[in-house]
Amino acid sequence: MPLSLDETLTQELQALEAKHLRRRPVITEALEGVEIRRDGKRYVNFSGNDYFGLSRHPKVIAAAARTLEAYGTGAGASPLVTGYHPGYASLCEALAEYKGTQACALFGSGYLANLGTITALMDKGDLILADRLAHACIIDGAQLSGAALKRFRHNDLAHLEQLLHKRGEYRHCLIISETVFSMDGDCAPLTELATIARAHDAWLMSDDAHGIGFISNNPAQIQLGTLSKGLGSMGGYVCGSQALVDMLYTKARPMIFATALPPSATAAAEAALDVLSREPERAEHAIRHARYFCEAMGLPAPQSPIVPLIVGESAPALHLSEQLKERGMLAVAIRPPTVPKGSARLRFSFSAAHSDQQVEQLVQTLKTVMKAS
């Protein structure tokens, strides 16, 4: 008898479980500030991406609430049908101005922005060169596009140039990197990448999911990001030239075949962008926590509010995360395949919404549990 669907899946899940690779969501309730509740217990969250505390900002919440009252809960259709609402247009304008580009397009998420943009621009016969540590959705988009995909070693310009020796065999070439790397917290050499791209008749795309508010003067022609992290809302965006945006409206499949972001999400993101522009010190505040943490733990100085503590194997990373959790602190273990084999880690992310005391408590607790294990 062949196995049923459920029998097959159960076997596969058990095999993954044995390798510590099974994943499960846990109901998590956001409380005030950076605190969360799970199974009735409160934790200080060091795994969120709300770097500026904007998802809880009164102005952001008020903007979303006003819009909900006025326009209801959903956009009702794709932007090309009837989903292109006034708040959608005004957020595009605000993002383009913030980024210093001609235009901007929105997607349902950062994931979809990557998928939609890469597949709209690249095709069979084209070449995509992506940083080895580029986010999964960049790789998914590249594979879906049909273009040849090669990965250059992380932030390794010499390796990138070496791969560009074969540039002539392809029509278009797109170089893709992140601005701030999501799992390592380091930054891409954007200026150098832009110079290399120009010299080889290649285009440069950056994913700024973790960089907004921290990275300025981005020379990439295609500047992609998310509304869902630092801006505390939901959605993805692509900033660039008018021609780029016109092409995304025309060819990007997640733009054409998916419903537009709801008015409350765009209103929240626009209000968050406004607060961030007026209060750039929020970024400095988040980085200051990261700097303090790194100094106290003897880690290299951070380049962003993301700090990895590399443990190696999945099991000890999970154990360390569990130890912190027992003491009221949430720092999720990040394991392969999200990160390369042998580099399982705790990923700490700091927010302007953390207090000095919370960071100090993390340092003391982490020192204690690491000494004990």
Ligand X SMILES: *Cc1c(COP(=O)(O)O)cnc(C)c1O
Which residues are part of the catalytic machinery?
49, 135, 178, 182, 207, 210, 229
Find residue 309's DSSP bridge partners.
Answer: 346
Question: Toward ligand X, which CB reaches closer, 63 or 209?
Answer: 209
Q: Do residues 267 and 67 touch, judged by C-beta distance below 8 A?
A: yes
Question: Toward ligand X, which CB reaches closer, 127 or 234?
Answer: 234
Work out how close the CB of 154 gets to ligand X at its nearest, in angstroms, rounded to a whole number. Answer: 14
Torsions phi, psi for 151 (to 5 deg): -110, 130
Q: How far is CA 99 from CA 217, 219, 237, 277, in A?
A: 8, 10, 11, 11
Q: How far is CA 293 from CA 46, 358, 365, in A?
A: 12, 11, 12
Question: Toward ligand X, which CB reaches closer, 95 or 369?
Answer: 95
- Interface residue list for ligand X (CB under 6 A): 109-111, 114, 135, 137, 178, 182, 207, 209-210, 226, 228, 236
Work out how close the CB of 134 gets to ligand X at its nearest, in angstroms, rounded to a whole number. Answer: 7
> Helix, strand, or coil here: 103?
strand
Question: Toward ligand X, which CB reaches closer, 137 or 332?
Answer: 137
Work out how close the CB of 142 gets to ligand X at its nearest, in angstroms, rounded to a whole number. Answer: 13
Residue nearest to ligand X (CB): 110
Per the listing, tokens 């210093």 go with: 100
Torsions phi, psi for 259 (to 5 deg): -70, 145
Instruction: Give the β-pairing of 29-30 and 35-38.
Output: antiparallel
Work out how close the CB of 188 gets to ligand X at its nearest, in angstroms, rounded to a whole number. Answer: 11
Question: Toward ligand X, which CB reaches closer, 262 or 369?
Answer: 262
Neighbours of 263 (CB within 10 A): 24
> Helix, strand, or coil here: 351?
coil
Work out how close the CB of 19 gets to ligand X at its nearest, in angstroms, rounded to a whole number. Answer: 24
CA–CA separation, 169 and 187 (whole Å): 30
